[in-house]
Structure 1
Amino acid sequence: MSKALHDVFGFSGFRGVQDLVVDRVIHGQSTLAIMPTGAGKSLTYQLPAVLLQGTCVVVSPLIALMHDQLRSARANGIRAATLTSADTDRGATMDAFRAGELDLLYIAPERASQPHFRELLLSARVGLFAIDEAHCVSEWGHDFRPDYRLLRPLLDAFPQVPRLALTATADNHTRSDILAQLGIPDEGLIVAGFDRPNIRYAIRPRESVGRQLKAVVEENPGPGIIYAPTRARVEQLAESLARDTGRRVLPYHAGLPPEVRARNQAAFVASEDMVMVATVAFGMGIDKPDVRFVAHAGIPKSIEGYYQETGRAGRDGDPSVAIMFWGADDFARARQRLSEIEPHRQQSERQRLDSLAGLVETAECRRAVLLRHFGETPAQTCGNCDNCLQPVGVVDVTDVARKLLSAVYRTGQSYGLGHLEKVLTGVSDDRVLQRGHDRLSVFGILTEDEKPLLKALARALQARGSLTATEHGGLALGGDARAILKGEAAVAIVVPPKQDRKRRSRGGDAGANPVGDPLFEALRELRRELAKEAGVPPYVIFHDSTLREMAGSRPSSLAELGLVGGVGTRKLEAYGDAFVEVIRRHA
């Protein structure tokens, strides 16, 4: 097993729980592996695919993801193919499968659940079923796909073939559902740690999001993804950021023509510095390891969604940034949408939203909050999130909250924060006077010390659901508002530190590219040329971490180059001479 690991992938050892998962699979035991993005999930079925008799059938949710993994597998000398609606050589693929000439066969769940595919499997030898993005099978997961629920009959038709389900995000409820839906025994669950220590988390109130995102793009020179909540916002941000930063910035959303989406995605995958502004439709199909930052221009749907989306940064293990800019209106819209989903799911979705509100409003370590959500017991501080790097203060604002909620109630629960602020601070403008709000008991009751806290308090109350938005943009009481008014619940808010403009979102001093190393840049240039010739993204040739090790150890022969992490037999044969020559020239 270790020999194949080195010969095929160029690795001298396993990472994390990879060895436990591979060992179970090799011994025919069905397994659900919960492993964080970047932990090497694909290796846990690609290595068995090389070692086992028969073909490993991989169920994957997106064609783009399949083709991305296909390129990487073939670059390592693995015999792989896809069977999708986008393939023109399906007949040749099926013939190769029947003849036992494939190690891996990727297929979408929609096709896998069809009777004709089961008939195809009966005509060949199957060594393993791998179900990628397995959280899609669960109604309780954050990205439910009904076609995943139809896989069980196919799996049961081949009881002797082990099943390997893989996902990066699943809470306890979702894990139990995946095990049940895919027929995997409870003892088959393997959970790796969820921590991604190379990602620096930061969450800030949204002020001028265009200016805030411009700073992120300017401070992080590598590839990046910016998630925006609507198609219109995606296009607006892509246009403004391209103009204001000089970087190549492209949009991606479901409303674009398919050929434009495909072209933009291909450009991003191949680029070493491009930024993609996208809706959440973008990302699951991307296996790009060198994304240096992920930014959110609004809140994601849940902590699970946030973890998965931010997890697209730094899959290569290099320092990366995940930064979110949020506003009270994000939570107001999200809580309104709760009423539109099926009644039996409303409670669980409300809990997810409450957990997300807790993450954005916490004064604690962000990473600790994230990891506790997934059932871990982390250290109290991580040293690599905004709250740990610049500790925030917490202020008890229960009295101010009662005044604000009282003003909302006494003005009829139909006015926005601007009007309420005037009432509470004693501003007698025409609107206040016309409605007689200057005669209310709450008129002018805020003290000078309380006034600066009002906007942050209103944002926090909307995040936790104590204030809700009305149809016409006003504020109304919700959640635990009455408990707060009665003195039965307390309210505290975070007072953020003054921002150090020099390190607002920077991923840290340890960048992906060593400064002043001409050999590293020469190796990157060679990688670009080889990638262009082969028609693959540069990272398929070698990751930056592999080039850095080459630049550091300066191997002078193919034998020495073969000892560098990430240089397997196939890549050594294909590219070794060219890289050794560049290293010799810089000796």
Structure 2
Amino acid sequence: MEEKQLFGALKEYFGFDSFRPLQKKIIDAVFKGKDNVVIMPTGGGKSICYQLPGILLPNITLVISPLIALMKDQVDGLKVNGIAAAYLNSSQSETEQQQIIADVEKNELKLLYVAPESLQFVDRFLTDGKVSLIAIDEAHCISSWGHDFRPAYTQLGYLKKRFPSTPVIALTATADKATRKDICQQLNIPDAKIHVASFDRKNLSLEVRPGTKRLEQILQFTEGRKNESGIIYCLSRKNTEDVAAKLKANGLKAEAYHAGLSHLERSRIQEDFINDKQQVICATIAFGMGIDKSNIRWVIHYNMPKNLEGYYQEIGRAGRDGLPSETMLFHSYADVIQLQKFAANAKNEAVQMAKLDRMKQYSEALTCRRKILLSYFGELKKEDCGNCDICRNPPQFMDGTLIAQKALSCIYRLKGKEPITVLIDVLRGAQNEGVLGKGYQELKTYGIGKDISWKDWQLYIIQLINLGYVEIAFHLHNHLQLTPMAKDILFNGGKLELAKNLDQKEIQAEQSKTTKTKDNSLFEKLRQLRLGLAQEEGIPAYLIFNDATLKEMEKERPMTDEDFIQINGVGRKKMEDYGYQFIKEIIAFNKEKRFKKKPKKSGNSHKETLQLYTDGLSVEEISVSRKLAPSTIYSHLIKLYEEGEKIDLLQLISKADVDAVRKAKDEIEDPKGLKTYYEYFDEALDYWTIKFALTILEKEEN
């Protein structure tokens, strides 16, 4: 496949001038007929790896996807981009299914989505040679090693035997080495090239807070974010309902989502969230698979997850459009104990406990959290990220030897038979039944730490646990016991440093500051326009343009068609369908606010194009040389022509086309952008031909 076709299709259908890391390498391998396994985090751009080849390959691309909701979302998105796609599943009527089969037979579809349970439909009408590519989404579902095993996926191995000459591409967001190997084996693609993208989602900020007064902290966090979409993950159904009720009472559009609701109710809540009718979902981990919503701005974990895989996947649902997004995890000792109980009842208890320990270490870390998270997935970073709470507020260390001696000595005198709560009460000289009833007031360590607050003692003791001086005997009612390392501090004059407990209120106030989106901002007006168009068409708003595209429109303020199509995320079909309305809104806003148009992002980029054009390169050659879409080069040439440079547009279109557009211009009374001309010619003349002709005619008139 030639470069110019790839970059041209990328801009025309998806609105991008360049590929993300690994995308082009994967796509090139597909065109060479190779099998591929792609491990790319949520929001990393997996879909384009098979959707773009699907557009350019001669026959149909078969996509296996686990959820009907996810299939519908993907197909709607493809249609909005002008790509012929459909999905086939058991929820459709026989008439609907027959129509799709007929479309396939007539070669009118480029991509067909099928649930694994519905593969029998495919066998009836597809033969080897009719399928150009097989894409298996959420491929980890095939492996019992994966975190979301689905038995229906195990039958997919027959596809390679059924279509031996067709390349297979298997895609997933998370898969460890054992799962990757299992995917290749079960899909009968042992020689597949494995592509592992970076797991570093730099746009996600990471934060962990103590799990005290969580609802109060959540309300503070959501203040000023009432137009943003977010998810709050909870361990219990009751928590989802309590949090949702509290948020509703404070004016937020929130719903609880859990397995106790009917299928119909869960579907409604999910649809409302996808379509921006609900802003916040308070959910158990049952929620999320199949959510392709790109404008989720934050994810909060009300309770600690049981492992880093689940945590990473859940926070990955925020910021899929690449814009800055926030994640927050509440960490409490009680959650750890609860999760320990769950793990103790599991068949693979040792594995579950080990994974929980890693989750706990992440939550209680005093070093860059992103480095810890990435190292878990085998990606090592030398530099701190600068976008986690530890990097933003580095801990200050102090000589903690005396504090450690007091705590360790008290554990020793309690004979390792009490949990953290009783230990702190003894250190602080509490006079409650738990202390006085056992005569602990007679111990030498009783009250030796009364000058330190209960909460500070808790955080210092957790540090001692993390440093290996103390361990929790979970099988003995969570009693704290000394490790051999404690002897060094108690008896051998050992020293250690502890992190100071910073003022959490100050930190939280600082971290909760956010640039509030004003209701009268251009972004908000474009968002409302997008929402209205989406409701008219019955599709999620982010399928029209995602937030990142709207933000770029707000920044660049394109007021002509050639400026508008240079915005990332604006392809030809979306330009034709929505360009007029958005440009009109931007022009109206600029008039209202009397803003001057900001410089275009391209700067002198068109001058570089002029140099190559003057040197005699064709549009295609310039496109390849500059790694820009042909559409971008066309817009440069128009700009240069309008600026008086020696550009002969008649080399790019025929005089007959110019005459045809001249005639159309005379006949159309009130043209509304290029779309009017496009429809006038029944799509016989493409966008750029019309634009070139209008540019030539405008110069003639002047």
Tell me the TM-score normalized by structure 1. 0.88
8 Å CA contact 1:220, 1:507 repeated in 2: no
Which AA in structure 2 matches 1:109?
A: P
CA shift for structure 1 position 300: 1.5
Match of 1:210 in 2: 215
Contact 2:419 2:480 in 1 (8 A): no
Of the two structures, which has the highest relative contact order with CA contacts closer than 8 Å and spacing of 6 or more?
1
2:551 equivalent in structure 1: 548
Contact 2:407 2:427 in 1 (8 A): no
Asked whether the equivalents of residues 98 and 124 of structure 1 are also in contact (C-alpha less than 8 Å), the reply is: no
Aligned to 1:107: 114
Distance 2:111 2:181 in 1: 28
Q: Compared with structure 1, are the counterparts of its residues 466 and 54 closer, same or farther at alpha carbon in structure 2 (3 Å cutoff)?
A: farther
One-letter identity of the residue aligned with 1:17: L
SS at match of 2:63: strand
Structure 1 residues 201-210 or 94-103, which shifts more? Answer: 94-103
Residue 583 and residue 420 in structure 1: after superposition, are their counterparts in 2 closer, same or farther (change >3 A)?
closer
In structure 2, which of residues 75, 80, 84 is the aligned counterpart of residue 79 of structure 1? Answer: 84
Match of 1:200 among 200, 205, 213: 205
Q: Does 1:233 align with 2:233?
A: no
The code of the aligned residue for 2:231 comes to I
* 2:272 aligned to which of 267, 274, 281: 267
Secondary structure of the 2:383 match is coil
Q: What are the Cα deviations for residues 467-499 of structure 1, in whole angstroms up to 9, with x where unaligned?
A: 25569xx42358xx5445566999986544223
1:151 counterpart = 2:156: yes
The answer for the alignment partner of 1:378 in structure 2 is: 381
Verify: 1:63 aligned to 2:68, yes or no. yes
Cα drift, residue 38 of structure 1: 1.5
Bigger CA radius of gyration: 2
**Distance in 2 of aligned mates of 1:470 and 1:99:** 66
Residue equivalent to 1:179:
184
Residue 521 of structure 1: CA displacement?
3.6
| Mapping 1:462-481, distance limit 5 Å | 466-469=471-474, 474-476=477-479
Deviations 1:506-534 (A, max 9, x none): 4865x7x5x69754443333222211110
Match of 1:2 in 2: 7
Q: Compare 64-73 and 186-195 and name the one that shifted more.
A: 186-195
Contact 1:331 1:462 in 2 (8 A): no
Distance 2:221 2:566 in 1: 37
Cα pair distance change 1:527/1:453, threshold 3 Å: closer
Residue 93 (structure 1) aligned with residue 100 (structure 2): yes
Paired residues of 2:35 and 2:192 also in contact (CA < 8 A): no
2:342 paired with 1:333: no
Same amino acid, percent of matched pairs: 38
Q: TM-score, normalised by structure 2?
A: 0.74
* 1:529 counterpart letter in structure 2: G
Give the counterpart letter for 1:568 in structure 2: G
* Deviation (angstroms), 1:180: 3.1
**Residue 575 (structure 2) aligns with:** 572
Name the residue aligned to 1:223: 229
How far the C-alpha of 1:292 sits from its partner, in A, is: 0.9
Q: Name 1:360's counterpart in structure 2.
A: 363
In the alignment, what sits opposite 1:131? 136
Please tell me whether the aligned partners of residues 27 and 49 of structure 2 are also in contact (alpha carbons under 8 angstroms).
yes
| Distance in structure 1 (CA, Å) of the matches to 2:454 and 2:589 | 63
Measure the CA separation in 2 of the matches of 1:237 and 1:369. 30
Residues 40-51 of structure 1 correspond to what in structure 2 (within 5 A)? Answer: 40-51=45-56
Supply the distance in 2 between the matched residues of 1:290 and 1:482 (Cα, whole angstroms): 48
Q: What is the SS of the residue equivalent to 1:200? A: strand
1:421 aligns with 2:427: no
> For residues 379 and 220 of structure 1, what CA distance do their matches in structure 2 show?
34
Consecutive unaligned residues of structure 1, counting only runs of 5 or more, are: none
Change (3 A) 1:249 1:170: same
Q: C-alpha distance in 2, partners of 1:11/1:476?
A: 57
Identify which range, 74-83 or 198-207, moves more after superposition.
74-83
Q: Using the alignment, how far apart are the partners of 2:355 and 2:17 within structure 1?
A: 40
User: What is the aligned residue count?
Assistant: 572
Listed as ranges, the matches of 1:282-431 within 5 Å are 282-343=287-348, 346-393=349-396, 399=405, 402-403=408-409, 405-406=411-412, 409-411=415-417, 416-427=419-430, 429-431=432-434
d(CA) in 2 for partners of 1:180, 1:145: 16
CA contact (8 A) 1:297 1:324 kept: yes
Amino acid across the alignment from 2:243 = L
Aligned with 2:502 (options 497, 515, 519): 497
**Alpha-carbon distance in 2 for matches of 1:84, 1:404:** 64
Question: What is the SS of the residue equivalent to 2:296?
Answer: coil
Q: Secondary structure at 2:107's aligned position in 1?
A: coil
The residue that corresponds to 1:16 in the other structure is 21
Q: 1:394 to 1:281 in 2, by over 3 A?
A: farther
Residue 318 of structure 1: how far off its partner (Å): 1.1
Partners of 2:307 and 2:104 in 1: CA distance = 40
User: Are the counterparts in 2 of residues 220 and 292 from structure 1 also a CA contact under 8 Å?
Assistant: no
| Residue of structure 1 aligned with 2:541, choices 529, 535, 538 | 538
Q: 1:426–1:30: structure 2 CA closer, same or farther, 3 Å change rule?
A: same
Who is 2:145 aligned against? 140
Q: What letter is aligned with 2:74? A: Q
Q: Secondary structure at the match of 2:49?
A: helix
Q: 1:533 to 1:429 in 2, by over 3 A?
A: closer
